[in-house]
Structure 1
Amino acid sequence: MGIDRRRALLGTLALGIGGAAAAQTSPPAVAGQRVPGRPDPRETIDLWPDGAPGLPAAPPVETVDERSKDLQLADRAVHGVTHPRLVVFRPERPNGTAVLIFPGGGYRWVVVDKEGYETGRWLAARGYTAFVLFYRLPGEGWGAGPDVALSDAQRAIRVLRSRAGQYGIRPDRMVAMGFSAGGHLCGDLATRFDAPTYAAIDAADRLSARPDGAALLYAVQSMT
């Protein structure tokens, strides 16, 4: 049976979309773990297409720890992030506002469930397009040192602004929200959004990293 041009075009398009999705780094996970309740999200956005800048000579190894003793309650945390990425929560009816979520973890790890996925699901159920950021940690040897998490936050908001149409969001309605150490990162982004923490790599880096709103929840105020 012959294949007409339309079918061939659609097949090529589907293959391209599938390839692009497959190229993204998966969300943090414990191998073989079955998460109770709702399934984990699957859609992600890698921030740095050619790898995160300033890779240490001895790169950290991404490790996810399950801290919960309750088989019905997930409470994971990740450290050693080498592929900073956003995990996407799409609402059924987007209201045009994006919320970039920075979970806490004392800059020793990044919480996955309590201040990440649970918040993403709650916001998506109310029409917000939510993006949970798994950022690099300052104590793991990256070239940007104490600014490495800020580099990821700046890059994240610029990437989202550059792809606003793809996610049904408005580039002038980008809110940052952070918890604990993530609250500190959120405040850092809100006040130092234009600090030069990394060298520009593409057109997205010409866009502003300034959030249009910021929510700091029980935020760390001082490193002393």
Structure 2
Amino acid sequence: MRKSLILLLATLGISLSAVAQQSGWQPPAGHTTISIWPKTVPGGVENPAPEADTTTAKDALIAGKPLVRLGNVARPTITLYTPKGNNTGAAVVVFPGGGYKILAMDLEGTEVCEWLNSIGVSCVLLKYRVPDSGPLPKSQAALQDAQRAVGIVRAHAPDWKIDPNRIGVLGFSAGGHLAAALSTHFEQRLYEPIDGADKLSCRPDFAVIVYPAYLAIAEQNFAANPEIRVTDQAPATFIVQAEDDPVHVENATLYFLQLKNARVPAELHVYSEGGHGYGLRKTEKPVTGWPKLAEAWMHTIGVLK
């Protein structure tokens, strides 16, 4: 039976690894998906293991529901989610979290895109390389993917009905670190330019950072991560975290102070309770009401009009 299956796949020109990769996570039908690196990824190093959802029956539920924990991502992509109704022209590139080991593709990805679409914002979901793509300076793979993704979005702005001057980023946990890293590493690409997309700015016009990680070093009395050097060129930023977050609220408060000292417009919301890794799913904790505050902030800074 197995030999017959292998022969059938070979006849169709499909490899076993490709089939396994498709079983990991696929965006809903009807959305444009682009492989951000047309040939090999920078450095040419790819994870040989198949892309897969690593969730097990023992993993905790979030707001009573499971989540997709996508691992072994070697071929990064972006998927476009366009508002079906009112389109404001604003867009957000979303970075799911997962400790740079996995990606929470639904909790901190597709569910976020649905919310952004509901307020008239186009969403571009980045499936970046994991595991071992960060945090800086361990590896630059995730940041390379983020830089490339924003450039591609700007290149496609006319086709996708996006204002190239209203393209932001939104990241959770490790993805929050990635959003901060891109906000401070946009002047020079960390890879050899490929095409016209790499000639366009990869600076986000605004950033939303939710329960960030890796911005403060706990082992050094919560000193600032030296790789995140905030200047007055960083984008306006909205930050939210809970005081009881086991990943430490200092990540949010320290980054806010760095932005403030650089005279970058920033808004910080700290809740007494909420923990970590809730995404947009409603719980009894007030922290899960943060999307309304983020929407109001986007109106305040002129992203939503």
Bin of the TM-score, shorter chain as denominator length? 0.7 to 0.9
Letter in 1 for 2:202: A
**Is the alpha carbon distance of 1:179 and 1:29 closer, same or farther for their aligned partners in structure 2, counting shifts above 3 Å?**
farther
Deviation (angstroms), 1:203: 1.1
Q: Per-residue displacement from partner, 1:90-146 (whole Å, max 9, x unpaired)?
A: 1022110010000100111111111111100011111100011110136269xx961
Q: State the partner residue of 1:202.
A: 195
Unaligned runs of 5+ in 2: 1-17, 220-305
TM-score scaled by structure 1? Answer: 0.75
Asked if 1:51 corresponds to 2:44, the answer is no
**Is the alpha carbon distance of 1:57 and 1:154 closer, same or farther for their aligned partners in structure 2, counting shifts above 3 Å?**
closer
Q: State the partner residue of 1:174.
A: 167
Q: Per-residue displacement from partner, 1:124-172 (whole Å, max 9, x unpaired)?
A: 111100011110136269xx96111000000000000000011110110
Q: Distance in 1 between matches of 2:141 and 2:101?
A: 13
Asked if 1:147 corresponds to 2:135, the answer is no
Deviation (angstroms), 1:30: 3.6
Q: Distance in 1 between matches of 2:203 and 2:70?
A: 27
Q: Per-residue displacement from partner, 1:58-80 (whole Å, max 9, x unpaired)?
A: 6343122335678x945101121
**Is the alpha carbon distance of 1:200 and 1:30 closer, same or farther for their aligned partners in structure 2, counting shifts above 3 Å?**
same
Letter in 2 for 1:59: P
Q: Per-residue displacement from partner, 1:181-219 (whole Å, max 9, x unpaired)?
A: 000000000011124311001111011110000111111
Cα RMSD between the aligned structures? Answer: 3.0
Q: Is contact 1:60–1:140 with CA below 8 Å preserved after alignment?
A: no
Q: State the partner residue of 1:187.
A: 180
Higher relative contact order (CA 8 A, sep 6+): 1
Unaligned runs of 5+ in 1: 1-24
Q: State the partner residue of 1:79.
A: 71
Q: Distance in 2 between matches of 1:137 and 1:208?
A: 25
Q: State the partner residue of 1:90.
A: 82
**Is the alpha carbon distance of 1:82 and 1:96 closer, same or farther for their aligned partners in structure 2, counting shifts above 3 Å?**
same
Q: State the partner residue of 2:206.
A: 213
**Which structure is larger by alpha-carbon Rg, 1 or 2?**
2
**Is the alpha carbon distance of 1:42 and 1:108 closer, same or farther for their aligned partners in structure 2, counting shifts above 3 Å?**
same
TM-score scaled by structure 2? Answer: 0.56
- Secondary structure of the corresponding residue to residue 154 of structure 2: helix
Q: Distance in 2 between matches of 1:134 and 1:84?
A: 5
Q: Distance in 2 between matches of 1:58 and 1:150?
A: 17
Q: Is contact 2:100–2:133 with CA below 8 Å preserved after alignment?
A: no
Q: State the partner residue of 2:117.
A: 124
Bigger drift between 118-127 and 55-64 goes to 55-64
Q: Distance in 2 between matches of 1:140 and 1:177?
A: 18
Q: State the partner residue of 2:7.
A: none
**Is the alpha carbon distance of 1:169 and 1:52 closer, same or farther for their aligned partners in structure 2, counting shifts above 3 Å?**
same
Q: Is contact 2:67–2:106 with CA below 8 Å preserved after alignment?
A: yes
**Is the alpha carbon distance of 1:145 and 1:54 closer, same or farther for their aligned partners in structure 2, counting shifts above 3 Å?**
farther
Letter in 1 for 2:182: L
Deviation (angstroms), 1:87: 1.8
Q: Distance in 2 between matches of 1:196 and 1:43?
A: 25
Q: Is contact 2:140–2:190 with CA below 8 Å preserved after alignment?
A: yes
